[in-house]
Structures are given as C-alpha cells and as structure tokens.
Amino acid sequence: MVSLSLDEVGAAYGRRRVLSGVSVGPLRGGEVTAVIGPNAAGKSTLFKRILGHVAGDGHVRLEAVRPPRDAIVYMPQDFSAKAALSVYESIILAAKQNDSGWHVSDAKLMRVENIMASLRISELAFRGLGELSGGQRQLVSIAQALVRDPEVLLMDEPTSALDLSRQVEVLAHMHHLAKSKELLVLIALHDLNHVLRYCDQVIVIADGTMVAAGPVEKVVTEELLSRVYGVRARLEICSEKRPFLIIDGLSGPSPSA
C-alpha cells in the first residue's frame, strides 16, 4: 500500500522561507487528508514541495509501486490547457502524459470514457475547453488527474468553482475512490464542514508553519478554529450523528466594543 511521510519539511523561494516544520505520517492509501488553513498559509507550497517543484529542508518519503513522477499526480488551482483542444482530447493527452508514441490503447480510451461518465461530463466531450464555464473546466481538470491512475493525488481546492451539489458529488466520489482503490488523497479545502464529512486526516497550516495534524475529529476543535481562523465556532452533532460547524462570529472583542 502506498504511504507518504513528511519529516520537518520546509520550503523556500530563494532566500525567503515560506514553509517550515511540517511533520506528518505515514499517510496511507485509502485515506483522504485535508490540508487547511487561512489564505496564503502555505498549502499550495506544501504540495509543490512534495512534488519537488520547490526546494526546501526536511524529508519527503514516498513508498509506492511506481516512481514518484508516475505515482503522484497534482491538480493545481489554476486550470491550464490549450483552449483549442476539446474536452475529450485534453483528457486523452493527460492519459498519455508519460507514454511514448501516439497510439492510444482501447483500454485507455475506455478509462477516459468511464472517468468522464463518473464525473457526469460525457456530454462535454466534444466541446472546446474555451467554451466551458469555470466549474466545467474544474471537472475536466479532475478527470485529467484521475485518468493518470495516480497512487497519490494532490488536489489544490478542486471544488472552488463548483456549485454546492457538485461539490458534494465530487468529494463523495473522491472519498469512495480513496477507499475502493487504496488511493492516497491530499486535498486543500476551505469549507470545514466538507472536511468534517469527507476527510479522515487533516493537516493545519498557518503563517507557513504546521499548527496541528491528525484525525479530523481530534484536530478540528473550537479552540483551534479560534486560534487559526480567528472565529468563534461551535461543533454540533446533526441528526445523522455527524459533526458540523456553526460560526457565531469573530473571536475577540466585537467591532463595536
């Protein structure tokens, strides 16, 4: 089973240190780990450090069947693809990213079609990428990541452009894939109720430093939310016996005080 461990991992852009002290793991296949924290906390930088796209100290240890360049797939926040391509063509190109030659096997074509169907974007197959809405482009980006059959999938805010029903659909699908295929998923999210519902582990980053890590139910507390996000929050239990978050306001004195 795939596993990923981070030992005092940091990152820097030149002489400017932007991330430090991230130690967690081993994270294992079959789990979804949320990476949370305020804007500009260092979440995207952590993904780039795991990929080796940013230099830094500490150690990233990956145990996987394939080499890291094949085992880890990264879905960035910004969707980048040539607008002249159709949706179908862009996903086929993603499937062949580490292949040589132009031939596409029947198995890969079937995989492309199955993934498009699972994300309910088959009707977009022959639309140009430039014709799509932001949410549709985000779903195509998810398909491009999944078609590469990763062992580790890094997803940077993959639901930011999706409407609520699509957010729930995609996150439930990723949770199912993690469990059924022993896929290790790291996913940066801002909606903490989604974290509580769909994630097993969580890494909390603020001001370029890891604040906490561990099982979601132990890490996401009212005290942590006040300290990291500056909000007064309550964790309640719904009728389905699941925790959910209610924000009452900002922590500290009110503006009128």
The pLDDT tens digits for 218-251 are 999 999 999 999 999 999 998 989 999 999 999 8
Asked, for residue 203, whether it belongs to a domain, the answer is no
Of 154 and 108, the one with more pLDDT: 154
pLDDT band, very low/low/confident/very high, at 100 (cuts 50, 70, 90): low
Predicted TM-score (pTM) of the model is 0.92
Across 122-128, average pLDDT: 96
Please write the tens of the pLDDT for every residue from 24-37. Answer: 989 999 999 999 99
Asked, for residue 210, whether it belongs to a domain, the answer is no
Please write the tens of the pLDDT for every residue from 188-219. Answer: 999 999 999 999 999 999 999 999 999 999 99
Task: Determine the longest span between alpha carbons in the chain, in angstroms.
Answer: 69
CA 108 to chain centre: 24
Range of the domain at 120: 82-147
Give the CA-trace dihedral at 49, 150, 210, 188, to 10 degrees.
110
Among residues of the chain, what percentage have pLDDT more than 70? 95
pLDDT at position 151 is 97
Asked, for residue 70, whether it belongs to a domain, the answer is no
Asked, for residue 63, whether it belongs to a domain, the answer is no
With a cut of 70, say whether residue 48 has pLDDT above it.
yes
- Secondary structure class of 20 (helix, strand, coil): strand
With a cut of 60, say whether residue 255 has pLDDT above it.
no
pLDDT band, very low/low/confident/very high, at 81 (cuts 50, 70, 90): low
Do 243 and 217 contact (CB within 8 A), yes or no? Answer: yes
H helical segments located in the chain: 43-51, 68-71, 87-95, 106-118, 134-146, 164-181, 192-198, 216-219, 222-229
With a cut of 90, say whether residue 79 has pLDDT above it.
no
- Secondary structure class of 123 (helix, strand, coil): helix
Question: Residue-wise over 141-180: b if at least 16 C-beta within 10 A, else e?
Answer: bbbbbbbbbbbbbbbbbbbebbeeebbebbbebbbebbee
Asked, for residue 103, whether it belongs to a domain, the answer is yes
Asked, for residue 16, whether it belongs to a domain, the answer is no
Asked, for residue 39, whether it belongs to a domain, the answer is no
CB within 8 A of 95, min separation 6: which ones?
104, 108, 111, 112, 147, 148
Task: Please count the structural domains in the chain.
Answer: 1
State both tokens at 2: 């795939």
With a cut of 70, say whether residue 254 has pLDDT above it.
no
Residue 38: which of 156, 250, 193, 206 has the closest Cα? 206
Asked, for residue 208, whether it belongs to a domain, the answer is no
